[in-house]
Amino acid sequence: MRAGASSRSLPVHPILGPSERGPKHTLFTADDKLQQRLAPHLQRVLVVDPQPAAVKLLGDLLRSITPAQILTATNDQKALQLAKMIDPQIIFVECNGPGMDGARLARAIRRSEFNCRKAPILMVTGEATAQAILGARDAGVHEFLRKPFTIKDLLRRLEAVALKPRDWVEAVQYVGPDRRRFNSGDYAGPRKRKSDTRKTPDQARVLQALKIVRAAAGALDSDWMQARRALLAQTSDLQKAAVAVGDMKLMEAAIALGRQLPGEGAINRAALDGAIRDLLTFMPRDEAGTAKAA
């Protein structure tokens, strides 16, 4: 022992074994696992915003989740061109700005022939008013994201649109995800209907489809493309619902309507009108006289 050193020996701590080193830490956090699940849905992303700083922030957050291909547009026209060209899996749109209107853009995509017409659309804005939120919902937007937002806010919205798919509504006045499940973590207004948390009964599905058929019939001359698309979607939905409710006559009527809507060739309008009339005989009497379009 060298001079001046204390005669007391210092305590020696043994090296702890694996079972003695305290609680183990998991390799991935919940957010890590969520990001892994989201990655396949974020390979191609379109961001539409006239503000470069906002585009960069969102792009950085998305790339922190996965190395996504992110294309950007500053106005509606460029956004539509890119949407058609790259077939994005998810689309972010600013609510409004120079040369763009987020709700108008969402409607244009929903009513287009693009492959991405059903892709999730998230509207981003600094003003989450009730009017803006309801306008986005009615335009066919999936989710609403208020600026400024965190990575957790973004992950929550992405999880909702990518991992919890909603039923698709192909009507005449509305095209987009089922509005009864629209959500915004920022909206503090009246809550949605009590029935929104329950699965739609099969009878209600039949009624909704018949209402859309009726509305589409009234739009055959003014909006043929969307009316035809709506009719085709309802023939498919009605066949599934007919099986669920055990109504084979309804199924036959839905199949007959589908036969009058071929992919190519001329339409026999008289036969089409007849098939629609036959299908609408399944409309409940208390609804048959209602003229409200779907």
What is the model's pLDDT at position 181? 60
What pLDDT score was predicted for residue 130? Answer: 86
Q: Is residue 71 scored above 90 in pLDDT?
A: yes
pLDDT at 208: 92
Mean pLDDT, all residues of the chain: 84
Q: Tens digits of per-residue pLDDT, 83-119?
A: 999 999 999 999 988 888 999 999 999 999 999 999 9
Residue 82 has pLDDT above 90, yes or no: yes
Residues 123/95, Cβ–Cβ less than 8 Å: yes
The answer to whether 148 touches 184, Cβ cutoff 8 Å, is no
Per-residue pLDDT reduced to its tens digit, 197-249: 444 578 888 999 999 999 999 999 999 999 999 999 999 999 999 999 899 99
> Mean pLDDT over residues 77-81, rounded?
96
- DSSP letters, 19-51, are GGS-SPPPSS-HHHHHHHHHGGGGSEEEEE-S-
Residue 23 has pLDDT above 80, yes or no: no
Q: In this prediction, what percent of the chain has a pLDDT beyond 90?
A: 64
pLDDT of residue 16: 38
The pLDDT assigned to 201 comes to: 79
Please indicate whether residue 171 or residue 24 has the higher confidence score (pLDDT): 171
- Alpha-carbon distance of 254 to 277, in angstroms, equals 11
Q: Kindly tell me if the per-residue pLDDT of 19 is higher than 60.
A: no
Interatomic CA distance for residues 281 and 294, integer angstroms:
17
Look at 85 and 288; give whichever has higher pLDDT. Answer: 85
Quote the pLDDT of residue 29. 62
Give yes or no for residue 36 having a pLDDT over 80: yes
- 91 compared with 290, residue with greater pLDDT: 91
**Crossing angle between the packed helical segments 151-163 and 30-38, to the nearest 10 degrees:** 50
Residue 159 has pLDDT above 50, yes or no: yes
Residue 127 clears pLDDT 90, i.e. is over it: no
**If residue 107 lies in a helix (H) or strand (E), which one and from where to where?**
helix 102-110
CB distance 168 to 118 below 8 Å:
yes
pLDDT of res. 194: 44
Q: How confident is the model at residue 128 (pLDDT cuts 50, 70, 90)?
A: confident
Residue 286 has pLDDT above 80, yes or no: no
Q: Give residue 231's pLDDT.
A: 96
Q: Rounded to whole angstroms, how far apart are CA atoms 22 and 231?
A: 63
Q: What is the pTM of this model?
A: 0.77
Q: Which backbone phi and psi does 57 adopt, to 5 degrees?
A: -60, -50
Q: Is the pLDDT of residue 164 over 50?
A: yes
pLDDT grade for 266, boundaries at 50, 70 and 90 = confident
The whole-angstrom separation of Cα 59 and Cα 202 is 42
